Amino acid sequence: MADANPRPPVIEMRQVCTRFGSHVVHADLDLEVRQGEILAIAGGSGSGKSVLLREMILLQRPTSGTVRLFGEDIATLDEAGRLRLRQRWGVMFQRGGLFSALTVRENVGLPMREHSELEDALIDSIADWKISLTGLPPEAATKMPDELSGGMLKRASLARAIALDPELLFLDEPTSGLDPASSAGVDELILRTHALFGLTIVIVTHDLDLLWQVADRVAVLGEGKVLAIDTMEALSHHAHPIVRGYFLDPRAGKTAAATTHDKETPWKTR
Amino acid sequence: MTDTDPRSGVPDDTPAPPDSMSAQLHHRDGQWLLSGHWTVHQLGSLPQDLAALDCPPGAVVLDGSALAALDSAGAWLLQGWLRGHQASAELRQWPPRCETLMRLVLDQVATPPPAPPGRGLLARVGRATADAALQAVALLHFVGEVAMAGASTLRHPGRMRWRAMQRNIQLGGFDALPIIGITSFLLGVVVAYQGADQLRHYGANIFVVDLVGYAMLREFAPLMSAIIIAGRSGSAYAAQIGTMVVTEEVDAMRTMAIDPIELLVLPKLLALAVALPLLTVFADLAGVFGGMVMARSQLGIGFHEFIDRFGREMQGATLLIGVGKSLVFAVVIATIGCFQGFRTRGSADSVGRQTTTSVVQSIFLVIVADALFSIAFNMLGL
């Protein structure tokens, strides 16, 4: 099947090995993230999803292998190169990662304050707009992070992640700890952001609904490698047991595709 | 059913008390009868009673027709008793749910919990030494990073977080004035009192001035202030940074291309470098005042006499030595506090441990530095 996306991949990982002492997390892992796509990284606990994400955002160095972002090998980057790179992406952490000493508005405005010469009033306006884009009410802007509910916290940290209009967005378990209604809201938010800014999104998740509703492709991690990377429809016929585990709903006794796909598809925006 | 002693299970003729809730075990006609609620709240003294009961090894019939309820505690208690006597159970007329639970528990193979790896004294000493060496290397690494961040801030003074530094000066310096003042005053009192006792023998009362002056300005004021600030600010720095590590705020900073050292460490370091010497001067004042008060009350040396001699005998160098030492102490305390904060590993427990380590290490290193200063000054003749 011809590659429908001729542009170079945004993220390229080749033969990545990660070891902590004697514990091997990744063994010769290959992964490519295409420009403009929403890629989900799934896998059981301990399969190394979060470590892989951390290697992409320069918080962790792989034991061996190459990681290229926007075509540049991150191992060859100097301090200035890393600084440039970090301003091209936004990261939404699992527990929000908002600075507890600042209000939501100050949190969202921080990247702009650090890396631009814009005026404070302008930064505040942009921050307020980003906050409203994520569906938060205007009053949320002056709240402190510990005054926010779980759903609001996720939206606020997404607002900060898109503060600089990044080309690349990383989401670490965006729906963890959320009730179904809030999770559905996060699904919708991710799709809306993608439509609005046309960015490439990498999501680490094991939320089936998110995988079905939002992801263009899903990479399933297991045994230290990417076992399969394809659309959910294609993966549902995959032979590997770990991949199949994502599609067999033991509680319903039938494939998860039947239970989630049919009912939720009507409001899917793609 | 009621012709046995309910608690001991020994065949007895006394009537059992009407107590149908508590767990009971009776022996009758070669069978063991369970009755009552074998649940954690109703077991009563049964665990101790069971220990005294004997049962023959081999198959044992357990009649559960009078059993009202059974939970995990009751099931495990029974299983433990059976295992202890190498007996196996045959369950008769048990309520279905209780029987399911009992069978599940009986099926559990008794595996002793895995013993933690034995650590001989030598292994522990070796491991502790290796950890200490690694930590020392990590500290050097940290000092280097802080120096680099400091150098880059010197080149771009606009990047310095002045407001954070001011806030830290207020919290670490100004807010500490009362406690520093009180402790130094009391220390001055103690020093003068101890000295007064000896000096009186020789009629050398007036030398209490020199004693208080040298002791407070050179040694006690810088050292005590540093120790108090290590407990106050050193722990606060470690706890704040440690908590930020746990909540992923430090990671978030890094991904946003904000240097955590520039944002978190430098303001604290510079703030303490400004605050602690000033606090030391304040401690000098309070301590000498305390000495003055004691000198007046014990040795009859009036304030004017004290100040007169103080002004004549004490040299500016003495004050400067004390203040200079406190500058070094400030750098040590702030560096260790921030360093241990960054070493936190993901849990509340870790934050507590790192905070403790930071206070203990900074106090220790402050005292070591003080000793080294003493030796150095001795050799230099200061």
Residues A238 and A227: their CA atoms lie apart, in Å, by 10
| Contact between A52 and A29 (Cβ < 8 Å) | yes
The residue of B155, B244, B256, B263 whose CB has the most chain A CBs within 10 angstroms, and thus the best one to mutate to test that interface, is: B256
Residue B20 confidence (pLDDT): 61
CA distance B370 to chain A (A): 36
Average pLDDT, chain A: 85
pLDDT per residue as tens digits for the range B179-225: 999 999 999 999 999 988 888 888 888 899 999 999 999 999 999 99
pLDDT per residue as tens digits for the range B247-267: 889 999 999 999 999 999 999
Amino acid at A10: V
* C-alpha dist (Å) from residue A245 to A165, A210, A249: 36, 16, 8
Interface touch B257/A58, C-beta < 8 Å: no
Segment of A137-146, A179-188, B2-11 carrying the highest mean pLDDT: A137-146
Residue B248: name the closest of A268, A94, A117, A45 by CA.
A94
Interface touch A59/B251, C-beta < 8 Å: yes
Residue with the bigger pLDDT between B26 and B218: it is: B218
CA A211 and chain centroid, separation? 12
Kindly report the pTM of this predicted structure.
0.74
pLDDT per residue as tens digits for the range B355-381: 999 999 999 999 999 999 999 999 998
> pLDDT-derived band of residue A87, with 50, 70 and 90 as boundaries?
confident
What is the arithmetic mean of pLDDT over A134-147? 91
pLDDT per residue as tens digits for the range B324-334: 999 999 999 99
Residues B223 and B368: their CA atoms lie apart, in Å, by 11
Interface touch A114/B257, C-beta < 8 Å: yes
H or E element that contains A234: helix A232-235
Residue B66: φ, ψ to 5°: -100, 10
pLDDT per residue as tens digits for the range B104-163: 878 876 666 677 777 789 999 999 999 999 999 999 999 999 999 999 999 988 888 899
Residues B228 and B230: their CA atoms lie apart, in Å, by 5
Residue A197 confidence (pLDDT): 85
H or E element that contains A91: strand A89-92
Residue B34: name the closest of B70, B86, B85 by CA.
B70
Question: Cβ–Cβ contacts within 10 Å for residue A230, how many?
Answer: 15
Instruction: Map tokens 């310096």 to a residue.
Output: B173
Least confident range of A1-15, A100-114, A190-204, B90-104: A1-15
Residue A240 confidence (pLDDT): 85
Average pLDDT, chain B: 87
pLDDT per residue as tens digits for the range A48-63: 898 999 999 999 999 9
What is the C-alpha R_g of chain A? 19
Interface touch A91/B248, C-beta < 8 Å: no
Residue B362 confidence (pLDDT): 96
Residue B18 confidence (pLDDT): 45
Least confident range of A38-42, A256-260, B158-162: A256-260
DSSP one-letter code for A200 = E
Nearest-by-CA chain B residue for A166: B256
Residue with the bigger pLDDT between B36 and A18: it is: A18
Interface touch B257/A87, C-beta < 8 Å: yes
What residues contact B338, with CB distance under 8 A and at least 6 apart?
A: B142, B146, B237, B238, B241, B264, B265, B268, B269
DSSP one-letter code for B346 = S
H or E element that contains A85: helix A79-86
Residues B4 and B29: their CA atoms lie apart, in Å, by 11
Interface touch B257/A115, C-beta < 8 Å: yes
What is the arithmetic mean of pLDDT over B27-39? 81
Residue B290, helix vs strand vs coil: helix
The residue of A60, A99, A110, A154 whose CB has the most chain B CBs within 10 angstroms, and thus the best one to mutate to test that interface, is: A99
pLDDT higher than 50, residue B5:
no
Chain B positions in Cβ-Cβ contact with residue A95 (cut-off 8 Å)? 247-248
